[in-house]
A and B are shown apart, each in its own frame.
Chain A
Amino acid sequence: MNENISHLESLKDIKSIMERSSRFITLSGKSGIAAGIIGLFSAFIAYQIISKYYKNYNYIGVWKTSDFKALEQQLFLLAATTLVLALSFGFYFTWQKAKIDNTNIWNASSKRLLVNLCIPLIAGGIFIIGMLANNEWQFIGPACLIFYGLALINGSKYTYDDIRYLGYLEILLGSINLFYIGFGLYFWALGFGVLHIIYGIIMWHKYDRKNEAISSK
């Protein structure tokens, strides 16, 4: 009987090591929550900036005025700050989790995850810059959501499978957004803010909570 238990344990070990060596499972749920809060906050600031712009909007020569240039610059700066903040907090919480789990954050599986996330993201980035260069800003929101969703689905093979469903939801939101173009910011806030917070909480509940409780004992 005892021998049987040890064989079962061997199989469990094998399964666990196969999982851990091929997937990056140190990603923290808190990273998602932080990214979501920053995303919501940034959408709120964008909303303020845009409504201020529309107050001064005078129906004449909108596209080439200095007002529009200033708006573009402000929004671009906001987007860049949001990205840097979300990535830094995301990195911080994952790094913290790696310390608790006593594993390395930079290994073969995290590199693989990063590369696979980046392929659709870079394609999306180029696509969006191309649209901006053509003065086409209406589809930025949907493009962000759809390419981000594709990145998550592509990356899900190398981390928790759950982010695949987040990817599906982002693509769905982006696709609906295409038919409600004026509401890009709301869809953006829903996709990058609310969904991240909900998913972060689910992931934290499912994977991190247990480990944190063990390590604090």
Chain B
Amino acid sequence: MPMVLAVAEVADKGLRRVSHEVTGQAHLLSEAMGGQVTALVITGSAGSVDAGELGAYGADQVLLAADQVLAAFQGDQYAEVVKAAIGQCGAAVVLFPATAAGRELAPRVAAAMDAVLASDCIAIGWQEGGVTAQKPLYAGKVIADVALSGELQIASLRPGLFPAQACRPGWSAPVTALALPPLTARAHLREVRGGDANRLDVSEADVILCGGRGMRAPENFALLEELAAMLGGAVGATRAVVDAGWRPHSEQIGQTGKVVSPSLYIMCGASGSIQHWAGMSGSRCIVAINKDPNAPIMQRADYSITGDLFEVLPALKQEIARLRG
């Protein structure tokens, strides 16, 4: 029976949402293939995560790789673990989340196993014995339908895009400890710094407040921070703002930044260049607030308000607070 391996990702608070997304897609794929799903959970300590929970999202069994060395992501050791898991479950297809870690891990495994890899896919399927996928090119200016071939086929899935709903609520999958291979490293991780566990990355946020040059000064981003906090979202930035040093590059959205697809994208004081649009046009609902009614973003947004954002944003904060009662 063909096996699909779903590689989960663990953070401080347990399994990341992307683990559910990837396991869910692995489940749909395994149904089309007439196969099964093994989920792989890699963690620093077995007790820190409920790996069996992935059963509810479609995993038929779970392999658990737990070792102190695996507490933080390290490409060398993690790749050894994934290769061992592929061997143990006999996977024909492997799905990774296209997170920062997944995007380093998947190509390492693909090269080591002589396998094809489709990166950052936005749809995935099975046709005539091979994986099919949709993959944005040029940051989404073009969408490619692709067909993979070969004995082992690998894809990474864009985070935040696929549903993370349980298909078998409450069902816990049997968990087996993976016999760990030697975890040797060519590069040595010395430290992981400054990760604010409460800070939501734009690539995972369901609401994004994005500021452009129209924010006028770095301190004015506090307005967006406050709104983001109220809406459970994250602050994003245009390239101009990042180039000016107002915001870190990790917040940059666009063709030379991150590509995002939140439910709600609120664009404040930016015109919406073609490069920026490429990074956020997949958002479900786009709101633009801009002084210039003729800015490109004002033509393309779902809702737009023409006006001074230093008047509109405080009013927005107040109105949302009222709505939330």
Q: Do A and B come from one complex?
A: no
